[in-house]
Amino acid sequence: MTDAQIEKRLAQQKRSQERARQRQLEKQRSPEYRAKQREKQRATAERQRAKALANKDKLVEKAKAQAETQRTRAIKRAKLNSNKPAARNKPIKSKGMAGKARTKSDMSLHDKLGQLGCICCINAGLIQPFSGSPVSIHHIRGRTTADAHKYVLPLCAWHHDTPVPQDSGVSSDIFPIHSKGSEGGRVRWEAVNGTQFLLLRQCLNMVCETGIIAEASDGNSGK
């Protein structure tokens, strides 16, 4: 094909394309065509709406089924748990003895005093503070008075409530504040170890809790 022939064919193609474009434009301008197009668009929109509705119903059905499953499981769990004791709602008691429930700050104080160790053994040079020796929390004013759980001392068993075995070779200055029989007793105990209230202030100072009790209070009604 010569260049001239190619150019001629190109021109023909362009003309025929232009004619087709004009026909298409005329068709699009005609009211019939426009009406048809609008109808098509409406139908498409309608189909999409119907589809969305169907899906919505399906989604609602699915959500309902899930909710029902969860409800059934929750009822099963509740039935199982009702057979168990409600551990979480149990009041906190100290060693199962009667008295006021401890608050969180009481428990925190008792933990700190427990870590300190027996204050009488510390003062007698028998143990170092915070050396890990086990103690009981002794209540200076009993367990039912106001702030009962703040008037407490960390005491080892021998300084608290257990007599030292006879012929054990342990100093006779170590004896329990809760005496049985004629041995020990609070008056002699305080004469040897110091008054409970002073010991309490010393303890609170050592665990950095000095603000917990009033300076002027005395805790010597000891039980």
Spatial distance between the Cα atoms of 210 and 181, rounded to a whole number of angstroms: 35
In the complex with Zn ion, which residue's Cβ is closer, 5 or 172? 172
Q: Tell me how far, at minimum, the Cβ of 120 lies from Zn ion, in Å.
A: 4
Spatial distance between the Cα atoms of 160 and 135, rounded to a whole number of angstroms: 9
Q: Tell me how far, at minimum, the Cβ of 86 lies from Zn ion, in Å.
A: 31
E strand or H helix at 153: strand 152-155
User: Which residues contact Zn ion (rule: CB under 5 A)?
Assistant: 118, 120-121, 138, 156, 159
In the complex with Zn ion, which residue's Cβ is closer, 12 or 123? 123
Q: Tell me how far, at minimum, the Cβ of 129 lies from Zn ion, in Å.
A: 12
SS3 154: strand
In order, the DSSP letters of 44-111 are HHHHHHHHHHHHHHHHHHHHHHHHHHHHHHHHHHHHHHHTS--GGGPPP-STT-SSPPPPHHHHHHHH
In the complex with Zn ion, which residue's Cβ is closer, 120 or 200? 120
In the complex with Zn ion, which residue's Cβ is closer, 117 or 204? 117
- Distances in Å between the Cα of 28 and the Cα atoms of 20, 22, 24, 45, 152 are 12, 10, 6, 21, 98
Q: Tell me how far, at minimum, the Cβ of 133 lies from Zn ion, in Å.
A: 8
Query: Tokens standing for 52?
Result: 């969305």
Q: Tell me how far, at minimum, the Cβ of 101 lies from Zn ion, in Å.
A: 18
In the complex with Zn ion, which residue's Cβ is closer, 16 or 221? 221
